[in-house]
Structure 1
Amino acid sequence: MLNLIRKNLDFSVFMFTQATSNLGDSLRIVVMPLLVLHLTGSALYVSAIALLETAAYFIFHLPFGAVLDRADRRRAMLLADVGRGILMLAIPLLWFSDVPVLASLFLITLLMSILSSLFGAGSSALIPRLVQNDDLTNAYALFEAAESVAWIAGPLVAGALATWFGLASALVVDAVSFFVSASGLIFINIPPPEAHDGTESIWARIADGLVILTKVAPLRRIQLYWTLYGIIGYGAITGFVYVGSQGGASGPALASFAVSAYALGSVFGTLLAGRPHLAKITHAIPISLLIFAGGALLVASSWRIGMLAGALFIGASEGFFLVLYLARRAEATPDRYMARIGSIAAMLARLASGISVTWMGVMLDRWQGTGAFGTMAALAFILAGVVLLGGRKARPSPELA
């Protein structure tokens, strides 16, 4: 797997510069809510910022995906990175001036979300252009592992910088991370997208992408399985925080350790998925879902060690499944639809996340961690059965089982 880093310089540069950018993203996710709370003392404003960011994402992500299937993806991503870096640098400058900072944060959040939608639409289509099909699983395994490590380190870096230099000044690191990402895009060689007729409207292209997603059976199947998993599992971190803190009645230590165990498990899972003899095991996805279910049962036990072990298993199974999903989605998607399918998948992930966090919150409120994670385990068992039966019905090759 590490041979890919040595033999493919373009992929290596993209992976390491994006890991740096992800470090900045994870830092910003910690610092921005704290900035808003410092200014207002109200969680309502924090929620309003998050809602604005999500709304802009839903409005712009799909159209950007349609546009970037017929445009220079690297140039669009480069402009998005430079723009986001400038916006992040503006926050500490505004913080130490006399302008209304809160109103500026709302405007910056809106612009950041638009530019992030542009970057994300291009990024989802980029890795399949940088590596051969035979290397897709390894590439996604390395890329997702690097991202997981960055998200482990980011909150720690955020806390240290905010303590030493202040909240606003800490965002300079996020700005620098965007410029690092932009510099990587300058130096990598990305093959141009396929030539095609450019007379279709954006909405016709989006509709065309939806048709491809529903008609190409392997693509439809793997997207359905991952979306169903998202509905089941994306609320796990919310559950870890609730169970680990006993509903807020105790300190955050156990909750923090559980989230860290989950992130560490994700690193292991993504790297394991890059091992060909493991990724190509027949019924690899149902097996990973059974491991997920076992982890959920451990968390449901309310045993402290069991909770940490369960979080580790949940993270590992999710990371493993994620790499297989990304690789198989890319293999089943024609290049001219890559950005559109990536954008549609991202929208489905956002929707699944909202559903998952909602049902997890309701279950935690009514039946505590035992009921919530017990339900999660049962749903994962059911999904494992659905995937197993779907694979048999489709009669896939061992690589796609």
Structure 2
Amino acid sequence: MGSVTEHGGRESEPRDVFRLPGFLAFWTAESVSGLGNQITTLALQVLVVVTLSGSATDVGLVNAARWLPYLVLGLVIGALVDRRRRKPIMVVTDLGRALLLGLIPLLWALDRLSVPVVVAFVAAFGLLSLLNDAASQSFLPRLVPRSSLLAANARLDQVGAVVQTSGPAVAGGLVTVLGAPLAVLVDAGSYLFSAVTLTRIRLEESTTQVRRASVNLWAEVAEGVRWVYRHRTLAPQALSTHGWFLFNSMLVTVFVPFVLVGLGLTATELGIALAGAGVGALVGSLLSTRIGMRWGAGRAVIAARLVMPLGWVVIALAPADGDRWTTVAVLAAGQLVYGFTMGAENANEMGYRQAVTPDELQGRMNTTMRSVNRAMIVVGAPVGGLLADTLGYRPTMWIALAGFVVVALLLAASPFRHARHDDGTP
């Protein structure tokens, strides 16, 4: 279906992106490595706690190491990626991640694995992931036309939602059957598969698309920051997203202890409740293209962020007494709404910011936003935990919910509400 433009015409719906040369290979690589990442996320935590007899603090250090490169090097990496062809970066970093993960079971077999070694490996893995993310998100606008970016991101979100729903179950089964160290080896294979698949993409990135190295790298970093935070529509979108990550990290931090301790449910019941988010995300991503074309990127994102708090209201009101499965159903319903809004929003947000950003600034735009978003997680997660320990789980949820509403209303009052996906089309 089409959507009415400001000039009274109708936008043509982008053709199925799977028919675009190279996109199927890109989608396949992202899908397989995404499933592998789900396996490693669970396997590493089990590895630290069970295999290495680590503490909760050790698990926290391992998780923090994953995002540390984004905080320290994110802006610089964006500038460096904009100087290089992006497909080779994706292939090399996938091979590097496969090698790193393959060494973990080897060191375990040699009795040379320890928590500090795992932390170091995860930090190195995070650096390679930072490079890969910057290149991947910046490569997509070269692979598909700007008019198809919304549909392309929606396709990626759809498989991401399936992985989010099924990944934990697959990971749990592999960890149970193979053990945590060998389960990590499966993820190593997924990155190797991804690297080989990416080499099949026949897209030559011309020399005109590669920036000549500047004498002053920091000038290029500053140029990317200025592009994001001085842009009429990207700036309010970026600031609102930073706030969203802050309050979302508080809610995500509180959710697990709220369910396990506050409501007294089991880990299995927690998993069932969390699966609701994956189902909702799949439905939202399936509808995201239609919503974005009809409403425009700005209104689609704003609507999703205004509805999202309702899912957490349902969760915050989950009964502590009574039938356990009723409580699980309430939690799953809240997660369903939460996942649906994220699925409907993400493709519209990503597609829009890729469409309005010039090719030579794609890497810096993506890493600027992602680095600050990750910084918000580093701040919000411990704040959420501290508030929960001090005030209780439900009061902390209401505080974060109020933050959700504020950042959504501020975005609705900004020029971003008029953003449309054809804003970046020449």
Structure 1 pair 296/100, CA: closer, same or farther in 2 (3 Å)? closer
Distance 1:238 1:198 in 2: 41
Is 1:236 aligned to 2:251, yes or no?
Answer: yes
Match of 1:301 in 2: 317
Instruction: Judge conservation of contact 1:35–1:168 (CA < 8 Å) in 2.
Output: yes
Instruction: Report if the CA contact (8 A) 2:137-2:366 is conserved.
Output: yes
The two structures have a TM-score, normalised by structure 2, of 0.86
1:69 and 2:85 aligned = no
Q: Secondary structure at the match of 1:308?
A: helix
Q: What residue is the counterpart of 2:134 in the other structure?
A: 121
Gapped regions of structure 1 (runs ≥ 5)? none
Write the distance in 1 (CA, Å) between the matches of 2:120 and 2:379. 28
Q: For residue 312 of structure 1, what is the amino acid of its counterpart? A: L
1:344 to 368, 378, 381: 368
Q: Would you say 1:334 and 2:358 are equivalent positions?
A: yes
What secondary structure does 1:12 align onto?
A: helix
Aligned residues: 399
Change (3 A) 1:332 1:375: same
Q: Which amino acid aligns with 2:137?
A: S
Query: Percent same amino acid among aligned pairs?
Result: 24
How far, CA to CA, are the matches of 2:297 and 2:127 in structure 1?
40
Cα distance, 1:338–1:281 mapped onto 2, change above 3 Å: closer
Unaligned runs of 5+ in 2: 1-12, 320-326
Q: Is the 8 A contact 2:299 2:417 kept in 1?
A: no
1:112 alignment partner, one of 118, 125, 132: 125
Q: Give the corresponding residue for 1:172.
A: 185
SS in structure 1 opposite 2:31?
helix
**1:196-222 deviation line (CA, Å, top 9, x unaligned):** 443333222111111111222122122
**How far 1:3 moved relative to its partner?**
4.8
Write the mapping of 1:185-200 to structure 2, written as runs, cut at 5 A. 185-192=198-205, 194-200=209-215
Give 1:54 shift. Answer: 2.8
Matched, 1:396 2:412: no
Q: 1:356 aligns with which of 339, 357, 380?
A: 380
Picking from 410, 413, 425, the partner of 1:386 is 410
- Whole-angstrom CA distance in 1 between matches of 2:377 and 2:330: 25
Aligned counterpart, 2:28: 16
Match of 2:219 in 1: 204
Tell me, yes or no, if structure 1 residue 287 matches structure 2 residue 311.
no
Q: CA RMSD in A?
A: 2.5
Indicate the SS of the match to 1:40.
coil
TM-score under structure 1 length normalisation: 0.91
CA contact (8 A) 1:286 1:384 kept: yes
Indicate conservation of the 8 Å contact 2:296/2:418, yes or no. no
Paired residues for 1:137-286 under 5 Å: 137-192=150-205, 194-247=209-262, 249-275=264-290, 276-280=292-296, 283-286=299-302
Once the two structures are TM-superposed, the CA of residue 15 in structure 1 deviates from its matched residue by 1.1
2:347 counterpart letter in structure 1: V
CA contact (8 A) 1:20 1:150 kept: no
